[in-house]
Structure 1
C-alpha cells in the first residue's frame, strides 16, 4: 500500500497542503501526459475543434501535455540554446551586470541559490535570465509602441548589459516572437476547449503578460561542499504551480521534470525529442472554476552535467479584470473565485517569489 506525505505550497491567500506519494516518480500514462500533434492548427475550424477536444481532456486530467509539429524550427531553438549557454558561461561578475536587483521589473539575471520557490524545500539550484513582454518586438505593435506591462528602461538596461554578446538579443528576440505567435494560436484552442468562441480571448492578449525565462541547472559536481556527494541536493526548482494562463516549455534531454498526478503521485515527465511541454497555470484554473488543473511540478537535477530549459509564460493583458468564465458556472457550480486582473494576480505572486519566499 502506497505511503504518503504532504508538501506545503504558499499562495497569496495562505498556505495550501497537498498529499504526495513518497514512491519514486513513475512514467505517466498516455492519458496523463499525451502528445498532441499541432500540424493542423492552421487548418479549418473542424481541425482546430478536434485539437481543442484533445487539449480539454489533457487540461482536465493532469494539466500537462506535450505538443509536436508546433511550428518553431529546431534550428532556432538550438541557436537560442547556444546563446543561453554563452550567457551562463560568463563570469558571475558579468552576469550580475544585468541582475534582477539592478534591472527591476522582473527581467535580467538571478544567480544559483538566489531564489527559493518553496520555502519548505532547499533553495533552488538554478540560475535564470528572464525577458518581459515588450511591444517593440511584438508584430502587433509596429507603430507607436506603448507598453502597459513595464517601462522600456529596465528592458533596455538588460540588453545594453549583454551587448558584448552580439547574437544574444536578436536570437532570443526571434525565439520569443515565435513562442508568442504560437501562444496566441493556442489561446484560441483553449477558448474552444472551454466552449467559448475561438476569438474570445483575442482582445486581451494584445499586450499580454508574456515572460520568457532561460534556465541553467548546474550539475551536482559544480556545487560546493556536501552537494557534490548528493547531500543537500534537494531540488533544481521546488514544488510549485505556474502563475499565468499556460506555459510553453522547451527542455533539453537531461530529464528531471516531475509532475504531480491527479492521484498525488510524482510523474517523470521525460523529454521527448521535437516536442514542447504545455502546462496549465493558476490563472487558467481560476477562469475555468477549477475545471482545468494548474498542477504542482518540480525539477530534480541528479546528474553531473548541466540541464537547460526555456519556459515561456502567457498571461492576459495585465489591466484586464477577469472573472470565472460563464461556461464554467451553473446552479451546481457557482464561481469559486472573485474577479481579479491578470496583472494584479501576477504581481502578487512575483512579489512573493522575488522575496525568496514562494512562487
Structure 2
C-alpha cells in the first residue's frame, strides 16, 4: 500500500498527488473536478466463466480482455466468478456481527496484540495517507494459514523456507469464538477467494504470454489475506473540514499481485485514472472488482498498472467491503518477467523476494498490515 499523499498547488484545476513508495516519493497530477462515474470502457467488465472452459483459445480470449484492462486502468469488474451468493452473504453477516459488538469484546482480538498484524483495527487507529484524515473505518484482517487451505495435503511436508513466511495466528479465531459461525463463514469466503484467485492467476500468465502454469509453484502457499472492512458514515463535520480531506480509507495503491474486492451496494470506491480524474467504481451486484498490485506492476516492467484508489462513505448507511489480496509465497524471488523485456524495453528492476518487497513497503510507510478499501 503506497501512502503519503500531499496536495500541492500546480495549476488551476489541478493539484499534485505525492505517494510514498518503497524507494521514495512519486507524484501524480490530479484534477480537482468532482469524481464522476466510470464508464464501462474505463473500468470494463470481464465474464470470467470462460476461464473454466476446456478450450485454451477460449481462456486466451479472456486473458486478452484482462491484458487490455491491466495495461490501461489496472481495474476491472469480474462477473460469473463462481463464488456462491450464500458464501458472500454469510461472510458479510459475520462481519456485521463482529463490528456491531461492544468495543471491549473487539479489543480481545486487537491487532496491537498480534505479532503479524492480524486481527482488529479500531476506529481512529489507522491512517492510510498521512495528510488526509484518519481512516473512518474499522477492519479485521487475517493471513494465509495452510491448515485451512484445501490444496495442502500435509502441512508437515511444507518446506521450511516456505513455512518461515507464514504470518497466520490462531488467536484471530480463539478470540472470536463468542460468535458461533464467524470462523467458519469467514474462512469459507477466504477459501472460495483463494480457489478463484489461483484460477485467475493462470489467466494472468496467459495475458503475459507465459505458460498457463507459470505462477502455480509461486503461489502454492501464497501471501493470501482477507480484510473485513466496516465504514461508518463520514461525519458531516469532517466532510466540511478544509485542512484535510475526509476519507474512509486514504489514497493508496495495493501491495501485492492483485486484489479481488467484494463491496456492498452503498458505493464509495474511487479510482484515479491516467488523466488524473477520480472515477467512482460503482458497486455492481454479482461482481468483484479486481485491481493490479505494485508487485505485479514491478515484475511486468510497469506494463500492468497499479492504480491509486481510495474510499469515501458519505451515504447515510454503513458500508462493508471484503477484499482478498494475493501475493506470491514469501520466499519466492522474482525479477522482471521474461515476456516483459526486450531490446527496446530492458528490465527496470532487480529480482526481489516477496518477503523483501513487503518489508520494504511496510518500512517505507511505517506500517505493517491493515490494507483494504
TM-score scaled by length of structure 2: 0.90
2:361 equivalent to 1:345: no
Q: Counterparts of 1:313 and 1:17 in 2: how far apart (Å)?
A: 25
Distance 1:40 1:2, change over 3 A: farther
| Unmatched tracts of structure 1, length 5 or more | none
Give SS of 1:220's match.
Answer: coil
Q: Does the Cα contact within 8 Å between 1:119 and 1:358 map onto a contact in 2?
A: no
> Which one of the candidate residues 211, 217, 221 is aligned to 1:207?
221
Out of 141-150 and 202-211, give the one that drifted further: 141-150
Give SS of 1:140's match.
Answer: coil
Q: Deviations over 1:182-241 (max 9, x none)?
A: 0001110000000100000000000101111010011135x9xx33x7546610000100
> Which one of the candidate residues 185, 198, 209 is aligned to 2:199?
185
| Cα offset, 1:306, TM superposition | 0.6
Q: Does the Cα contact within 8 Å between 1:105 and 1:150 map onto a contact in 2?
A: no
Q: Does the Cα contact within 8 Å between 2:78 and 2:287 map onto a contact in 1?
A: yes
Q: Does the Cα contact within 8 Å between 2:294 and 2:306 map onto a contact in 1?
A: yes
Alignment of 1:87-98 (within 5 A): 87-98=98-109
Alignment of 1:57-68 (within 5 A): 57-68=68-79
Distance 1:358 1:314, change over 3 A: closer
Q: Once superposed, what is the RMSD of the aligned Cα atoms?
A: 1.9
Q: Does the Cα contact within 8 Å between 2:117 and 2:368 map onto a contact in 1?
A: no
2:41 equivalent to 1:31: yes
Q: Deviations over 1:19-70 (max 9, x none)?
A: 1111011222322211111111111211110100000000011000000000
The aligned counterpart of 2:30 is 20
The aligned counterpart of 1:328 is 340
Out of 83-92 and 298-307, give the one that drifted further: 298-307
The aligned counterpart of 1:149 is 165
The aligned counterpart of 2:262 is 250
Alignment of 1:234-249 (within 5 A): 234-249=246-261
Q: Counterparts of 1:128 and 1:36 in 2: how far apart (Å)?
A: 29
The aligned counterpart of 1:53 is 64
2:296 equivalent to 1:280: no
The aligned counterpart of 1:295 is 307
Q: Does the Cα contact within 8 Å between 1:118 and 1:357 map onto a contact in 2?
A: no
2:133 equivalent to 1:122: yes
The aligned counterpart of 1:305 is 317
Q: Does the Cα contact within 8 Å between 2:234 and 2:247 map onto a contact in 1?
A: no
The aligned counterpart of 1:71 is 82
Q: Counterparts of 2:155 and 2:306 in 1: how far apart (Å)?
A: 36
> Which one of the candidate residues 170, 178, 182 is aligned to 1:168?
182
Give SS of 1:41's match.
Answer: helix
Q: Counterparts of 1:353 and 1:167 in 2: how far apart (Å)?
A: 35
| Cα offset, 1:347, TM superposition | 2.5
Q: Counterparts of 1:356 and 1:315 in 2: how far apart (Å)?
A: 15
Q: Deviations over 1:112-145 (max 9, x none)?
A: 1211111121111111000100000111213234
Out of 274-283 and 86-95, give the one that drifted further: 86-95
Q: Counterparts of 1:284 and 1:236 in 2: how far apart (Å)?
A: 26
Q: Does the Cα contact within 8 Å between 1:66 and 1:276 map onto a contact in 2?
A: yes
Q: Does the Cα contact within 8 Å between 2:20 and 2:365 map onto a contact in 1?
A: no
Q: Does the Cα contact within 8 Å between 2:292 and 2:304 map onto a contact in 1?
A: yes
Q: Deviations over 1:156-186 (max 9, x none)?
A: 1121100111100011111100000000011
Q: Counterparts of 2:164 and 2:80 in 1: how far apart (Å)?
A: 33
Distance 1:151 1:258, change over 3 A: closer
2:205 equivalent to 1:194: no
Q: Does the Cα contact within 8 Å between 1:188 and 1:199 map onto a contact in 2?
A: yes
Give SS of 2:279's match.
Answer: strand
